[in-house]
Structure 1
Amino acid sequence: MSSSEAALPRRTLLAAVLFAAALGGGCFQPLYSDYTSSTVGGSVKTAMRSIEIPEIKGLMGHYFRNELVFELDGSGDPDAQKKLRLEATMSESVEVVTVDYANGRADSAVLVATATWKLVRIDDGKVVSSGTNSIRSPYERSSQRFSTVRAARDAQIRAAKNLATIVRGQIAADLVS
């Protein structure tokens, strides 16, 4: 068998793979496209802009809400027509990871933040999407009190922003029809 005869099946195989990839590529539709239809009418992009997010209690709730408003709409326009409402609660707990046995003080900790949420239609109260998401955010504890308080607050803010990103993705995926 000559080298030109061996190259022919390889070329045929390569052409078949490229042809299959081209056919499959035409079926892909971006999630945040203007043409991806949602279960509540219109595109997913416009459906996400029509979500009302009321105030959520606590520091993490504040940052979670602000990040979601930015990620879902970006404008925060209060005059926009709202079709959906996001009802969310936040909870948090702290796990001590390592302890310095010489002085009995925790060296590091992990903040476990949980968001429980549901997306409901404003007009009929029907639940469109719901979920519970958790995230772990580690931070260092110091013998200096202010440093520990600031590190814990930074962990709360980081966790709230990460939870908002996760929830936004889940809402977008649930809104696709």
Structure 2
Amino acid sequence: MSSSSIAAWFGRSASAGIVAALVILSGCQVQPLYSETSPAAHSLGSIAFSDAKDRVSQEVRNHLIFLTAGGAGEPANPEYRVDLRVKTVSSGVLLERSSDTAKAGRVVVSADYTVTRTGDATVLRAGHRQAVALVDYPAQEFAKLRAIRDAENRAARQLAELIRADLAAVLGR
């Protein structure tokens, strides 16, 4: 086989490969999960959330309402209802032996949630998510309390984003 026929064969093979790849890829339909035109976008705007029991629960609930409705608030006639049960645990993780005080800690905010269709009371999903925020404890007591509160807020925001992604996946089907 001459070098010109090998080059021609490789050229035809490359062209055929490109055409085959284009034919295969033309069948793909990729839609972003968070776009306004996705099927989940309308459904996310029609979710009502259960009332909060404490400050951290209220943070998670507020972030979820904003993320799902795009800042429009809760709907008047919701198609879905999400029952949230939020729990917060903070603990010291880096103990100083001489004074037996923690220098750093972690805040874990977890939630159990149930997504229900309001029309027929069908449970679409029940799940559990958690978010962890790390915190450094300063020497002053008020600063320590404020650092813990900031960590709770960060974890609540992360938790709301995780739950929103789960809701988009469930309602996008």
| RMSD of aligned residue pairs (Cα, Å) | 2.6
Distance in 1 between the 2:12 and 2:95 partners? 62
1:139 aligns with 2:113: no
Task: Write the deviation string for residues 13-38 of structure 1: whole angstroms up to 9, x where unpaired.
Answer: 486267526633632222234554xx
**1:31 corresponding residue in structure 2:** 33
SS at 1:55 equivalent: coil
Alignment of 1:26-65 (within 5 A): 26-33=28-35, 36=38, 43-65=39-61
Distance in 2 between the 1:107 and 1:162 partners? 24
Q: Aligned residues, how many? A: 171
1:67 aligns with 2:68: no
User: Aligned in 2, Cα 1:144/1:67: closer, same or farther, shift over 3 Å?
Assistant: same
Higher radius of gyration, 1 or 2: 2
Distance in 2 between the 1:75 and 1:176 partners? 20
User: Aligned in 2, Cα 1:14/1:137: closer, same or farther, shift over 3 Å?
Assistant: farther
1:16 aligns with 2:12: no
Distance in 2 between the 1:56 and 1:14 partners? 61
Distance in 2 between the 1:69 and 1:112 partners? 21
Give the drift of 1:57.
Answer: 1.3
Which has the larger displacement, 153-162 or 93-102? 93-102
User: Aligned in 2, Cα 1:78/1:67: closer, same or farther, shift over 3 Å?
Assistant: closer
List runs of 5+ in structure 2 lacking aligned partners: none
Percent sequence identity over matched residues? 27
Distance in 1 between the 2:141 and 2:90 partners? 16
TM-score (norm 1): 0.83
User: Aligned in 2, Cα 1:105/1:27: closer, same or farther, shift over 3 Å?
Assistant: same
Contact 2:114 2:127 in 1 (8 A): yes
List runs of 5+ in structure 1 lacking aligned partners: 37-42
**1:40 corresponding residue in structure 2:** none
Write the letter of the residue equivalent to 1:168.
Answer: R
Match of 2:94 among 95, 98, 115: 98
**1:112 corresponding residue in structure 2:** 108
Distance in 2 between the 1:10 and 1:80 partners? 63
Give the drift of 1:79.
Answer: 5.3
**1:157 corresponding residue in structure 2:** 153
